[in-house]
Amino acid sequence: MFDLATRRIIGATILTLATVITIGMVWLTEEQRMARFEAMHKAKAIENGALLYEQYCSTCHGPNGEGVPGKGPDLNPGVFQHYEALKQNQNYANSLRNFIKLTIAAGRPIRSTYRANEVYADPMPTWSQDFGGPLRPDQIDSLVEFILNWQTAGPAPTPTPAFEAVGTDLTKPLPPGDPKRGEALWNQEVKQASGAAASCKACHSLKPGEVLVGPSLAGIATRAAERIRAPDYRGQAKTPEEYIRESIQQPNAYIVEPDKYAAAPGVSKMPATLGNQMSAQDLADLIAFLMTLK
Amino acid sequence: MALRWPEPIPTLQKEVQQYGWRRVIFMHLDELVTRVTAGIPLTEVRNIIRGEPPPRPNPRVKPHTEGFILHIKPSFYHEAVTRLYPTFRLGLLSFYLFLIETITGIFLMIFYTPSPLVAYENMLRILNNVPFGQLVRDVHRLGAEAMVVAVMLHMLRTFFTASYKRPRQFTWATGVILLVFTLFLSFSGYLLPWDQLSYWAVTIGTSMAEATPPPALGRIVNLILRGAPDIGAAGLLRFYLLHVIFLPLLLFFVFFVHYYKVVRHGLSLPPEMEAVGDDTARKVPPEKRVPYIPDIAIQEALWGIALIAFLVIGAAFFYDAPLEQHADPLNTPLHTTAPWYFLWLQGLLKDPFLLALDRLGLPSPPSTIYNSKTFMGVILPGLILLFLLIMPYLDFNISRRYSHRRKALVAGLVGVAAWTLLTYMGTPAFAVTSSADVEVLQEFMPLNPDPLYGEGRVRTIPYEQLIPGTYDTRNLQPPADAPKLSRVLEELKHRIETDPHLPQGYAVVRISEAQPGLKRFEIAIRWAQMKNGQPVLDPEGKPVMEESKRAIYLHRDGGYGGE
């Protein structure tokens, strides 16, 4: 139909047009594409952050950022409230993102006073490789994206069951304890009345002599009986059961080996808020379990 | 007709008085065109466009003698080599691809810093915040793959048409060097995105360097290449410099040697057109000559246009350069592979001889020298390379006719088949087995995109269909409004129940909402522990189950839900 030269001209024209049209199409949609990619990469950062959080953070801050008494404060909504408080009370001038990033990367050199009445066994360690931690800078950024996502999403609705906490009241009568359920509480197989798992085993081992943060509880029943007869004992307990109860509800009443187990003079490493999580039944069951550790 | 300046050079005013302004404008325009084209006057350009034959003497050969760019090009070709066969334009395409890679590469260099701290971030920036960033990156990557393919095919073509024979042996040898440079150029660029894919592919590729004998030398070669025992900041910088300066310069230099030899000896004619032993490429009878300008030049321009169209359209609609997670030296992804053009090496390292003996039921030989990494990874490839380099000098068959080269052609086909087979053996589909549970988890939700399974089946479920709940494959009751979830759960059930290594196997899938817009997807696989072909029973008589668990998180904007 056409000679070779004409066919070549037609072919070249079509191909050039196709290329130009393609570039034009890319041009027109480039803004949306970049926005889409940005959202996608942020989503991937959040996903990676979630995996890292599960691996490194959830043992102290809880799987859903609800905190673990004695180990780490709640992040959702704690970290956001804490940041607002810092801004208002101490003229803290950094951004929320940087506040979180710096806290993760460089850790907390001193123990936080993050929540009133809470004392944490150890300060936040450094996490960034820049400060001797295990995580790369991009992993820190992913974690920050994950934590910030709580705020953009709003605090997750966690229904809190209504219950009467034992608190620090030592006079409240306890029902008879079930050592089986106490053991299940210890092993975090059943939850406390507050809906959170009991965090005892995070700091106390059941192996004789093993010190995680607090002393090993192996043989605690026998030891409790000795403690109340010790000359320096200043508490009110008359029986081993009462001693254990006092230690849980009012850990500052008597601190064994303060050099080792006190966070500050007169303040035990053991948090004083554990009773807020427990019903009288929880406490009785735990005591019954601990009394089996002769 | 070229115009001559009257002497002495008159002023513009006098010119206009003498010739009239129309003619003066034409004279000046003509001079400009003649200078730019290095010798073709405007009237001749018009003749070219109108398709008229050149006058004598032919002004269209002037650019070949006067111009720099065209002086290396022949002024005419033999008519027999201007068709698709026998050259398939593969050499030209390789050169074009090199140019395109250079241009797109410089664009990418603007936005890239070769440091592990920021390299990956730069990649995200190119994709998220640089207009046309993704297109240029895709063209660069697609072009790199195409260049490797073009250069390999070019070599095969040269072999099968016997164009490597006397007097073109040296041209062939430079071509083999160019092939090696092309492979390393592509390979060195592989590392730069600093993602899991690149990090581990290059780790595998460079692990061969350590095996260079003797061990002391191997350590030094490894240190020189990687900058440290493992790839890190120093290794990335080295690969970057190799990729953007050293290898391109070397390749450019060798390319000119190669092309000079091509022109010097002429493009070899199709074997059937010459008498046996003749080389008539340089003795082109006048009636067979096709001038470079305009015929070949137009043809080459057409190929260039077609190539650019292929790359741009391909990159815009069909091909996305991969970018996986940030490189993690502490976490080796399952099924890690070298780039596809080095898979044959990975295949060699899987000890194909031993495997073959084993499959045939023959005893393996006592010596292990030949199946060591040193032999299979360094010495044997080195010997293959050396053989390719000197092959034309060892070929004493002067005939280029296909019918006279049956052994050589069969050997070539066997070589291609062996390469293909070894490439297949290099993929994780061959002789790589981890435990059955890990394979299932990898198939359904790999932590990094897997060469066999891609993103995995779980990530094909649209976000809305990830309905929180616990799904047990022994008693599947997926929600009715989640067809894709149901399908994946059915596949998981089928996959586990038909796996002979997972006796009494089942899976418990837990989907939960971690944050609004973020879901956690956990698969726990349980199967009976076996001993001597019998399930192990606990004191109560129930089979002891083993468990394997993995969880991933899926975000609403993660871009999942496609096939």
- pLDDT one-digit tens code per residue, B325-337: 999 988 888 888 8
Q: How far apart are CA B121 and CA B291, in angstroms?
A: 51
By Cβ distance, the residue of B51, B308, B553 closest to A5 is: B51
Q: Assign residue B561 a region (left: φ > 0; alpha: ψ between -120 and 50; beta: otherwise).
A: left
Q: What is the pLDDT of residues A259-270, one digit of tens each?
A: 888 877 777 888
Inter-residue contact B548 to B525 (CB < 8 Å): yes
Task: Locate B415 and state its tokens.
Answer: 């070589």
Kindly report which listed range (A34-38, B369-373, B507-511) carries the lowest average pLDDT score. Answer: B369-373
**Please, what's the b/e burial string for A262-282 (b: 16 or more CB within 10 A of its CB; e: otherwise)?**
bbeeeebbbbbbbbbbbbbbb
Sort out which chain B residues have CB atoms less than 8 A from A32's CB and list them: none
With CB atoms and an 8 Å threshold, state whether B558 touches A23: no
By Cβ distance, the residue of A11, A39, A156 closest to B515 is: A156
Q: Residue B125's pLDDT is what?
A: 95
Q: Residue A157's pLDDT is what?
A: 47
Q: What is the mean pLDDT of chain A?
A: 85
Kindly report which listed range (A5-19, A112-126, B309-323) carries the lowest average pLDDT score. Answer: A112-126
The residue-averaged pLDDT of B24-46 equals 92
Q: How far apart are CA A283 and CA A250, in angstroms?
A: 13
Which of A4, A9, A28, A47 would best serve as a mutation to test chain B binding (most B beta carbons within 10 A)?
A47
pTM: predicted TM-score of the whole model, two decimal places: 0.82
Q: Residue B189's pLDDT is what?
A: 95
Q: What is the pLDDT of residues B139-180, one digit of tens each?
A: 999 999 999 999 999 999 999 999 999 889 999 999 999 999
**Of residues B426 and B6, more confidently modeled:** B426
Rounded to the nearest 10 degrees, how much is the dihedral formed by the CA atoms of A243, A246, A248, A253?
-110
Task: Locate B330 and state its tokens.
Answer: 């502490």
Q: What is the pLDDT of residues B415-460, one digit of tens each?
A: 999 999 999 988 888 877 778 888 899 989 988 888 888 888 999 9
Residue type, B76: F
With CB atoms and an 8 Å threshold, state whether A40 touches B558: yes
The residue-averaged pLDDT of A67-73 equals 85
Rounded to the nearest 10 degrees, how much is the dihedral formed by the CA atoms of A170, A172, A173, A178?
-70
Q: What is the mean pLDDT of chain B?
A: 90
Q: Residue B542's pLDDT is what?
A: 83
- At a CB cut-off of 8 Å and minimum separation 6, what does B256 contact? B72
Q: What is the pLDDT of residues A113-157, one digit of tens each?
A: 667 667 787 889 999 999 999 999 999 999 999 999 987 655 554
Cis peptide before B74 (omega within 30 of 0): no
Residue A112 in this model has a pLDDT that exceeds 70: no
Q: Is B305 on the interface with A (CB under 8 A)?
A: yes
Q: B141-145, B356-360, B402-406: which has the highest mean pLDDT?
A: B141-145
Q: How far apart are CA A118 and CA A74, in angstroms?
A: 11
Q: Is A150 on the interface with B (CB under 8 A)?
A: yes
By Cβ distance, the residue of A23, A27, A43 closest to B558 is: A43
Query: If DSSP codes are grouped into helix, strand and coil, which group holds residue A283?
Result: helix
Q: Residue A136's pLDDT is what?
A: 92
Q: Is A19 on the interface with B (CB under 8 A)?
A: yes
Helix (H) or strand (E) holding B508: strand B506-515
Q: Residue B33's pLDDT is what?
A: 94
Q: Where are the alpha helices (DSSP H) in B191-245?
A: 196-210, 215-226, 233-241
Give contacts of A 152-191 with B, CB under 8 A: 153-154, 156
From the list B342, B357, B365, B359, the residue with the least C-alpha distance to B425 is B342
Residue type, A82: H
Residue B3 in this model has a pLDDT that exceeds 70: no
Q: Residue B140's pLDDT is what?
A: 97
Q: What is the pLDDT confidence band of residue B78, given thresholds at 50, 70 and 90? A: very high
Q: How far apart are CA B282 and CA B285, in angstroms?
A: 9
Distance from CA of B312 to the nearest CA of A (A): 6
Q: Residue B369's pLDDT is what?
A: 62
Q: Is A42 on the interface with B (CB under 8 A)?
A: yes
Residue A108 in this model has a pLDDT that exceeds 50: yes
Inter-residue contact B44 to B54 (CB < 8 Å): yes
Q: Is A26 on the interface with B (CB under 8 A)?
A: yes
Q: How far apart are CA B557 and CA A35, in angstroms?
A: 11
Inter-residue contact B351 to B371 (CB < 8 Å): yes
**Of residues A277 and A293, more confidently modeled:** A293
Q: Residue B215's pLDDT is what?
A: 85
The residue-averaged pLDDT of B219-242 equals 92
Sign of CA dihedral B450, B452, B456, B462: positive
Task: Locate B213 and state its tokens.
Answer: 């004998």
Cα A181 versus chain centre, distance: 25
The residue-averaged pLDDT of B524-530 equals 89
- At a CB cut-off of 8 Å and minimum separation 6, what does B420 contact? none
With CB atoms and an 8 Å threshold, state whether B518 touches A37: no
Q: Is B404 on the interface with A (CB under 8 A)?
A: no
